[in-house]
Structure 1
Amino acid sequence: MKIDPITLLFASIFTSNILLANFLGMCSYISISKDLKSSNGLGMAVTFVMTITTVANWFVYRYIIIPLKIEYLRYIIFIVVIAAVVQILEMIIDRISPSLYITLGIFLPLITVNCAILGVTLFMQLRDYSLVQSLFYGLGSGLGWWLAIVLLAAIRKKIDNAPAPAGLKGTGLTFITIGIMAMAFIGFSGMIRVQ
């Protein structure tokens, strides 16, 4: 597919945001977005994992899966690569920032099964992106996920103190906010969209 990598980067952040356009990776997005520091940490972790695994899985697909004709195992192999990268990241975060490691808790190892990360890898493979396109697509998708979770955390912090009907507080208001954010990002879709 002939898409400029820079265009792909910005499209995957805004108009084709993996979270707000495809709704992939919602579990940790909703759970962690209560706190801005945790959201920022998880956003960085997801961006790192998404970028590294998209490139790694590009190589694995091109140089192992296709030559060995084991396309039927690609989902399992992609998940193993993602799990390995997450395990390394988990050890690094534990050494560098124990407080962030404790704050992220179970959601750090659960990045392995974050459907947004597997989704980006599968979209990369289905759209037949080149290595450079895959790098920019993985990076852009991670930055888009990070932007969305930090925005939601900031909005949730503001609306926690706002007067709201009792039936809307908590989950109801969070879902309404996510819907409005998704519509706002769709407003960028006239610029460019990655299919």
Structure 2
Amino acid sequence: MIRSLVAIFLAAILTENYVLNKFLGICPFLGVSKKLDTAFGMSCAVTVVMVIATAVTWPLYTYILVPQGLEYLQTLVFILVIAALVQLLETALHKYMPPLYNSLGIYLPLITTNCAVLGVTMLVLEKGAADPSFGFVQSLVNAFGSGVGFLVAMLLFAGVRERLEDCDIPETFRGLPITLVAASLVAVSFLGFNGVVDRLAG
């Protein structure tokens, strides 16, 4: 049991990273990764929303939508839950952490439309349908791992972008081109973890 949970957690961070492997959540990944402190704050906020959203949406889907035959409302219900959670988080940050609230700016309310958050809540249901042993606890571990994976990707990329500011970059690559090149190299670097996680899961 513990081994399988560790495998799910590590897979969500390394081999099934929602940003670097599934390419979800690219908007905040590119927009809030210029500074390490901002990237860290945004990642923590996304992680909190991912875990709480999964904790709320999984029982809603399993015990309310499915028994009532309302599975087709899944996307609508999940977006409403995520929007409510983001609103609560935004209010809390505005009251207790104004500097972080101001530095995140427009990207904080955009967590509502962050496809990585919605992707986590929906893809755990697909995993549960494919594997009956993938239940509520596994979904929460997957959501937390996905949030940590988002954090790792953001911090790595923020560090790379801060280093790039001190480099003499050819004019052709300045701005968005070098950012995309750096993002692709960070994503490729995670491919080396495939065998490690597969061996642990086996």
Calculate the TM-score normalised by the size of structure 2. 0.92
1:75 corresponds in structure 2 to 75
How far is 1:6 from its partner? 1.5
Q: Deviations over 1:56-75 (max 9, x none)?
A: 11111111111111011100
How far is 1:191 from its partner? 2.0
1:124 corresponds in structure 2 to 124
Aligned mates of 1:99, 1:4 — CA distance in 2: 39
Q: State how 1:86-165 maps to structure 2 within 5 Å.
A: 86-128=86-128, 129-165=134-170
Q: State how 1:57-76 maps to structure 2 within 5 Å.
A: 57-76=57-76
Q: Deviations over 1:50-103 (max 9, x none)?
A: 111112111111111111110111000011111111111111111111111111
Over 3 Å off, 4+ runs: none
Instruction: Letter of the 1:29 partner, please give it.
Output: F
Q: 1:177 is paired with a residue of what secondary structure?
A: helix
Instruction: Letter of the 1:143 partner, please give it.
Output: V
Is 2:193 the counterpart of 1:188? Answer: yes
How far is 1:150 from its partner? 1.0
Instruction: Letter of the 2:159 partner, please give it.
Output: A
How far is 1:189 from its partner? 1.0
The alignment covers a number of residue pairs equal to 192
Instruction: Letter of the 1:26 partner, please give it.
Output: I
Calculate the TM-score normalised by the size of structure 1. 0.95
Aligned mates of 1:16, 1:192 — CA distance in 2: 10
Q: 2:170 is paired with a residue of what secondary structure?
A: coil
2:9 corresponds in structure 1 to 9
**What RMSD in Å do the two structures reach over aligned CA positions?**
1.3
Unaligned runs of 5+ in 1: none
Unaligned runs of 5+ in 2: 129-133
Aligned mates of 1:135, 1:115 — CA distance in 2: 18
Aligned mates of 1:174, 1:189 — CA distance in 2: 25
Instruction: Letter of the 2:186 partner, please give it.
Output: M
Instruction: Letter of the 2:86 partner, please give it.
Output: V
Aligned mates of 2:172, 2:48 — CA distance in 1: 37
2:84 corresponds in structure 1 to 84
